[in-house]
Amino acid sequence: MTVGATTTAPPATTAGPLPAPASPKRERRGRRSGVDVRFSPYLYIAPFFVLFAVTGLFPLLYTGWVALHDWDQIMGQGEFVGLDNFVAVLTGSAFWRAFTNTVSIFVLSSVPQIAAALLIATALDRNLRAKTLWRMGVLLPYVVAPVAVALIFSNLFADRFGLINALLETVGLEPVRWHSDRFASHVAIATMVNFRWTGYNALILLAAMQAVPRDLYEQAAIDGANAWRQFWAITVPMLRPTIIFVIITSTIGGLQIFDEPRMFDQYGRGGADQQWQTLTIYLYELGWTRSDFGMASAVAWLLFLIIVGFGIVNYLITRRIATAEGKKS
C-alpha cells in the first residue's frame, strides 16, 4: 500500500457515446428528400398550367396584341392603332345590338335552366323505380350534336309550317313569327339551349345532393318540416358550392353561345335585321366575312371582360342568397 499517493479520478459523465457523424451519402439523401417534398407538388400541377399557358393564356394575350393593330386576314399585321379598334367597336350600334341579344338569350336560357335542373335533380334524388334509367334519360339531350338540335328546333319553330305554330293554331292562338320577331326568336333559341343543358346540370346537382347527410332530413322531418321547408333549409344551403359552379359555367357558356343562333336559319348571320345576332356571331362576321381581325380581336377581348364581370356578379348574388337562406334556417 502506498501512503500519500494521490490519484485523480476521471470526471463522471452521464451522456452516452457521441453519435457517429452522418455519412455524405445520407446527407445527400436527406437533401434530395427535402427538395422532393418541397417541389414535387408543383411538378404534379405543372402540366395543367403549362397546357393552360399554351392553349389559354397565349391566345388571350396574342388576341390582345392583334386588337391593338390594323390586322387584315390577307395582308396580316398592319400599323399599331392603339385602342382605335375598341373605340370603333364600342361606338358602333352593331356591338350593342349583339350584346343585348346575347344577354337576352342568356337570361331566357340560364334562369329557367338552373331552376328546372334543381327540380329535376330533387325528383331524381328520391326513391324512384328504375332510377338509373331516368338519370341516363336526362343526359340524352346533352349527347346530341348541337347542330342536330338546332336543325330540329329550327323546323319546330318554323314560321309557316312549324309544329309549334300548328299547335298554337289548333288551340285557336295566332301563330308566332319566330324568325322575324326579336323576342320570339330569343325564346326559340333559349329553348334549344335549355333542351341540351338542363339534364347535364341536373346530374351535377344530383351528385351533390347525394352527398348531403340523410340524418339532416330525418331530424327535420321529426321537427315537423315539410318537403318544401327541407328543400330551402337543407338542400339549397348544402348545395351552395355546386350551385355556384353551375351558375358560373352556365354564364360562360350562355354568353359564348354560337351554334344555336347560327343554325337557326339557313344564312347563319343572326337574322335579316340581326335580331338574334349574338356577340360570337358578330365576332365571326368581323373576322371571317369582313376579314378585319383587329376589330374581331377587340370584340373577343370585350366578350372576355363581359364574361368575367357577369361571372363575378352571379357569384356574389348566389353567395348572398345562399348565405341568407342558411341564416334563416
Q: What is the pLDDT of residue 87?
A: 93
Q: What is the pLDDT of residue 326?
A: 55
- The answer to whether residue 210 sits within a structural domain is yes
DSSP strand E in the chain: where? 69-72, 76-80
Size (the chain), residues: 329
Q: Are residues 204 and 57 in the same domain?
A: no
Q: How far apart are CA 210 and CA 231, in angstroms?
A: 13
Q: With 70 as the cut, is the pLDDT of residue 6 above it?
A: no
State the CATH number of the domain containing residue 240: 1.10.3720.10
Q: Are residues 47 and 117 in the same domain?
A: no
For residue 182, what are the CA distances in angstroms to 6, 97, 279, 313? 118, 11, 16, 26
- The answer to whether residue 314 sits within a structural domain is yes
Q: What is the pLDDT of residue 191?
A: 92
Q: Are residues 265 and 196 in the same domain?
A: yes
Residue-wise pLDDT tens digits, 254-301: 888 898 898 888 888 888 888 999 999 999 999 988 888 999 999 999
Q: Are residues 166 and 57 in the same domain?
A: no
Q: Are residues 69 and 106 in the same domain?
A: no
Q: What is the pLDDT of residue 198?
A: 92
- The answer to whether residue 15 sits within a structural domain is no
Residue-wise pLDDT tens digits, 122-175: 888 887 788 888 888 888 888 888 888 888 888 889 888 889 999 998 988 888
Q: Are residues 178 and 290 in the same domain?
A: yes
In eight-state DSSP terms, residue 70 is E
Q: Are residues 236 and 290 in the same domain?
A: yes
- The answer to whether residue 230 sits within a structural domain is yes
Q: Are residues 128 and 208 in the same domain?
A: yes
Look at residues 304, 297, 262, 268 and name the one whose alpha carbon lies nearest to residue 283. Answer: 297
Q: With 90 as the cut, is the pLDDT of residue 23 above it?
A: no
- The answer to whether residue 14 sits within a structural domain is no
Residue-wise pLDDT tens digits, 221-267: 888 888 888 888 888 888 888 888 888 888 888 888 898 898 888 88
Q: Are residues 137 and 263 in the same domain?
A: yes
Residue-wise pLDDT tens digits, 59-96: 999 999 999 988 887 777 888 988 999 999 999 899 99
Q: Which structural domain range is residue 227 located in? A: 86-326
* Count of other CB atoms within 10 angstroms of residue 31: 10
Average pLDDT over residues 12-35: 67
Least confident of 52-56, 71-75, 180-184, 271-275: 71-75
pLDDT band with cut points at 50, 70 and 90 for residue 328: low
Number of domains into which the chain is organized? 2
Q: Are residues 273 and 155 in the same domain?
A: yes
Q: Residues 6 or more apart from 177 whose CB is under 8 A from it?
A: 159, 184
For residue 266, what are the CA distances in angstroms to 98, 157, 162, 263? 19, 13, 15, 7
Q: Are residues 68 and 98 in the same domain?
A: no
Which cell goes with 324? 341568407
Q: Are residues 47 and 92 in the same domain?
A: no
